[in-house]
Amino acid sequence: MTAQTSISSVTARTGERSLTAIVLAAGKGTRMRSDLPKVLHAVAGRSMLGHVLAAAREAGATRIAVVVEPGQEAVAAEIARAAPGASVHPQIERLGTAHAVLAAREALEAGSDDVVIAFGDTPLVTGATLTRLRAPLADGAAVAVLAFTAENPAGYGRVLVQDGRVVAIREEKDASAEERAVTLCNAGLMALSGPHALALLTRIGNANAAGEYYLPDAVGLAVDDGLAVAVVPVDEAEAQGVNDRVQLGVAEATIQARLRRAAQIGGATLVAPETVFLSVDTVLGRDVLVEPHVVFGPHVIVGDHCVIHAFSHLEGATLARGVQIGPYARLRPGAVLETGSRIGNFVEMKNARLGEGAKANHLTYLGDAEIGPGANVGAGTITCNYDGVNKHRTEIGAGAFIGSNTALVAPVSVGAGAIVGAGSVITTPVPADALAIARSRQRIIEGVAGGMRAGLQAIKAAKRSAGL
């Protein structure tokens, strides 16, 4: 059986069942040393919480409930953005993971076939893994736990198995020496049968070294009730939570590796994959060539047969087929490049459209602008779009030629086929097919350069003598 067949089989077993996902996101994250709530730290352009919410949706969640620290408006806003319709439940007291889950009791009481419990600081967990986690519930299990085999199990809860059956999960501080030798470790995530979930969770006690209500104790209670408990294996790396900036960097590296591989399998060439950074929503078409040291921020779509030259940075940009950019190009949100257009080295675009076949090859800023098909924008040209208070647009017609070192003071337009002479400052509309030259007449005064140079050198020598 192939991996794809296996995933399809699991999906078929869970597809007709309703799912409530409860995401615990109330951790303070003090080890992050940050003013930003831990779950809002980003990995590949998406918050850690956003990753987990996306995985829950991918796994088929029909209801999502998120448990949060009271008063965290930023977290609530991220939930509303990433998972519209999800309910938010404050955790007033911190009495353990089972107690945190019961903060979302209202969602549990609403009823569903399956309940999956996840954590807002585990961004590497995929929707496919959550689907595998809930699959045993369709086969009659009351509880399914995600577990991995660790070379060094220190610090993890141990999954205890007797005669091939799970009997308990023991936190390390409560484990015996024999139990601490077990290498099968609890990944934390758990699936519960909806009809059994509340009955198990409300019976969990706090008779342990920490005096907390541990979610893993649901396993022992299910065993005592004669209910089936399943273990679902997962790679240790995928199950890792993020508690500090070092672990955040590890998570970033892991997701980048996934994204690069997916891009390559999808038909893009990454010349030096380890130097290219992608966002989770980056779209690269077929036969796209990405040279080294390129960064794709959020919301970038690149069409087929595009070339992204080295050291370019893209965010919120859309590139049609056959576009070339860079090296050292910067595309900011709202940049749209039509088929066959090109921007070159040290060109920046923001909220601007470059028409089909148009080009701006060197040292140019195009902001709040519409550049028509086939237009040429010379080196050093800028659209002066900001007057200190408001932004204004520049329109350049099809086939227009903008000479080097031109300043287009918006709002202004240059008609189709018009030519603007190099070094011009354009402040009024230029009609189609017109020639516009806006610069002072050149003056030549012969025989004065030597005297000017001697005077400047004398001033420089005087400053040096004065120690300036």
Catalytic annotation, pick one of 299, 305, 362, 392: 362
Q: Tell me if residue 362 is catalytic.
A: yes
- Copy the structure tokens of residue 437: 């030259």
CA 59/CA 272 separation, integer angstroms: 33
The answer to whether residues 268 and 288 touch, using CB atoms and an 8 Å cutoff, is yes
Q: For the range 279-286, what are the long-range contacts, defined as Cβ-Cβ under 8 Å and sequence gap of 24 or more?
A: 279/44, 279/45, 279/46, 280/44, 280/45, 280/46, 280/51, 280/54, 280/255, 281/45, 281/46, 282/45, 285/321
- Strand 184-193 versus strand 114-119 pairing type: antiparallel
The interaxial angle of helices 194-201 and 217-224, nearest 10 deg, is 110
Amino acid at 163: D
Q: Which residue is it, tokens 């010349």?
A: 271
For residue 435, give every residue at least 6 positions away whose Cβ sits within 8 Å of its Cβ, in sequence order, or none. 418, 419, 420, 421
CA 275/CA 283 separation, integer angstroms: 17
Q: Which residues does residue 366 pair with via DSSP β-bridges, in sequence order?
A: 349
Burial class (CB in 10 A: 0-12, 13-18, 19+), 87: middle
Residues serving a catalytic function are: 362
